[in-house]
Amino acid sequence: MRGGQIIREARKRAGLTQVELAERLDTTQSAIARMEAGGTEPSFTRVAEAVRACGVELVPHLARLDDADWSVASTNRTISIDERARRHAAALRFARAAREAMARG
């Protein structure tokens, strides 16, 4: 997640407009819009300030790399399109059944 996305998420959670956040940070609405849209990449310090101005705290931590997507992509390279479609359909059936089971309680 990029800095602007973090700022946008914090602002939305706080129920603030870009104008309100800009006022809290003594900047302009357009500066907030540029950060959120990825037009500029704010520093870590600026992201933390913006998040704090939204009333939440940024707590960075390191997490193990999840390469599950890579292993799926590697497997998909070795199987046919038909097999990929079958596996996808099976995964959808499984997800739908789980959702229905949870809805039943």
pLDDT digits (tens, 9 = 90+) for 46-103: 999 999 999 999 998 888 877 777 878 888 889 999 999 998 899 999 999 999 999 8
Residues 7 and 48 in one domain: yes
Put simply, whether the predicted model's pTM sits higher than 0.85 gets the answer: no
Residue 82: both structure tokens together = 């038909």
Specify the number of domains making up the chain: 2
**73 is a domain residue:** yes
Which pLDDT value is given to residue 19? 98
Same domain, yes or no, for 43 and 79? Answer: no
Residue 29 is assigned to a structural domain of this protein: yes
Tell which residue, 26, 37, 28, has the closest CA to residue 4.
Answer: 37
CB 46 within 8 A of CB 12: no
